[in-house]
Amino acid sequence: MLELNKVLENFDGENHVKSDTGYHHKKSATKDLKMIVNVLHDDLCAASVIPGRKYCHFKKFQSNINRKLKDKEYKQWISERVKKLVE
């Protein structure tokens, strides 16, 4: 094993491979999650009624699946889930 390490060190040195610092950043999904929530809520209007929206394969399916959601409670629920994902 010692010989293999010498070969690896020599190869890395000749090819200017930087050694590992040993310091790793903790990954965070906060920025990505905020972007997804904003797209779903603002850009795609996920919680709003879109006139003419139909589900041809589900004839008894209501066109507004969010009809029972209250906007304030929906936003609070999303915020709580995002906080749990980020923790």
pLDDT: which is higher, 81 or 59: 81
Q: How far apart are CA 59 and CA 41, in angstroms?
A: 26
Instruction: Tell me what pLDDT residue 78 has.
Output: 85
Q: Calculate the alpha carbon distances from 63 to 46, 59, 73 in Å.
A: 12, 9, 21
pLDDT: which is higher, 28 or 56: 28
Q: Calculate the alpha carbon distances from 65 to 10, 43, 62, 73 in Å.
A: 63, 18, 6, 16
Query: pTM of the predicted model, to two decimals?
Result: 0.30
pLDDT, tens digit, 9 for 90 and up, residues 2-52: 788 888 888 888 888 877 777 777 777 888 888 888 877 776 665 566 676
Instruction: Tell me what pLDDT residue 49 has.
Output: 62
Residues 6+ away with beta carbon under 8 Å from 86: 28, 29, 30, 33
